Structure 1
């Protein structure tokens, strides 16, 4: 990591466009092409999952070349080993699909924003108590926006990031229900547009999400 590169997560940037874009399984070259497009469309926060080939090199590249105006994080961090690799690559925030207490505590200790995955109200509350910056409610696909509203009713101090099955036509309803952000993968990173290297089309697609946020 170049020591001149800021490794600090910007909440100001995230609040501008509270979407965590999830990059999974894309090639290094596609990721390199889409980062500026993502930023130009008005989106600000992106995670590269650790089970993507060359994830560490991708995170490092993104931080060194495209960090201005973007938060760059690591997703699918399941173990302390994953966490060590992600932080060594320079990840500015960490997302997990499951609640691993050791991973959460390590991030809290180092001042790294952590969005751990949880499903039930008890898991969500426990993740928050451990010091999660936001709790990734995953998978949100089967739960829907109503679940976010129900959890927030007695636990309104929690910050929730529903992830899974969120797309253009239902995203607004999650925010109406009280979500503090959303995580979006395949519905955001349209595979057909990426395979066609249609970066202008992808930018227009990203802009639709950015417009909805405003």
Structure 2
């Protein structure tokens, strides 16, 4: 398992920073780090996401793994990876995003809802998949997906 993925797993939680004012990203990330959260996802809809992500990533070195979420295309994935993102999360399955992340050695997690999407994600090279939106299906759906 690569270091980024290991740190995400060890953290046990990825804090999603959505709608956070840009001038508070570092302060909030610091508070999360102090609370034991070592994986932070800044969503791609953040204004100037690449610049802001780079600032956060540069402020924490190896203490916090910083990634980007809500990524829908390979261009956004590449821009945030070049800015310092170590992982990329999508709400849906975009094989071009997975390919871009693999090219740059970044952890990637597409969103999936069906077993077919999960298998397609793994076959495309995703490190893991996330069931999205999970709140609409619940634990029984997750258990059923784990079987196959």
Shorter-chain TM-score above 0.5: yes
Q: Determine the structure 1 residue equivalent to 2:92.
A: 98
Over residues 34-77 of structure 1, what are the superposed CA-to-partner deviations in whole Å (9 max), with x where a residue is unaligned?
Answer: 11110110111111011111211221111111233211001111
CA shift digits 1:153-185 (9 cap, x unpaired): 22xxxxxxxxxxxxxxxxxxxxxxxxxxxxxxx
- Kindly name which structure, 1 or 2, has the bigger radius of gyration based on alpha carbons: 1
Alignment of 1:196-211 (within 5 A): none
Equivalent position of 1:112 in the other structure: 106
Paired position in structure 2 for 1:83: 77
Could you say what secondary structure the match of 1:11 adopts? helix
**Which runs of 5 or more residues in structure 2 are unaligned?**
none
**Does 2:5 correspond to 1:11?**
yes
Query: CA shift at 1:9, angstroms?
Result: 5.1
Q: TM-score, normalised by structure 1?
A: 0.65
Taking only aligned residues, the RMSD between alpha carbons, in angstroms, comes to: 1.5
Please give the per-residue CA displacement for 1:125-159, whole angstroms capped at 9, x wherever unaligned. Answer: 111111110102100011111211111122xxxxx
Comparing both chains, which one has the higher relative contact order based on Cα–Cα distances under 8 Å and sequence gaps of 6 or more? Answer: 1
Taking structure 2 as the reference length, what is the TM-score of the superposition?
A: 0.92
CA distance in structure 1 between the partners assigned to 2:41 and 2:49 by the alignment: 10
Contact 2:69 2:89 in 1 (8 A): yes
Distance across 1 between alignment mates of 2:14 and 2:114:
21
Moved runs in structure 1, 4+ residues, more than 6 A? none
Question: Which one of the candidate residues 21, 35, 39 is aligned to 2:29?
Answer: 35
Q: Indicate the residue corresponding to 2:64 in structure 1.
A: 70
Question: Contact 2:4/2:107 (CA < 8 Å) preserved in 1?
Answer: no
- Do 2:78 and 2:100's aligned partners in 1 also have CA atoms closer than 8 Å? no
Aligned partners of 1:91 and 1:145: how far apart in 2? 30
The Cα of 1:15 is off from its aligned counterpart by 2.5
> What are the Cα deviations for residues 171-214 of structure 1, in whole angstroms up to 9, with x where unaligned?
xxxxxxxxxxxxxxxxxxxxxxxxxxxxxxxxxxxxxxxxxxxx
Q: Supply the distance in 1 between the matched residues of 2:103 and 2:70 (Cα, whole angstroms).
A: 20
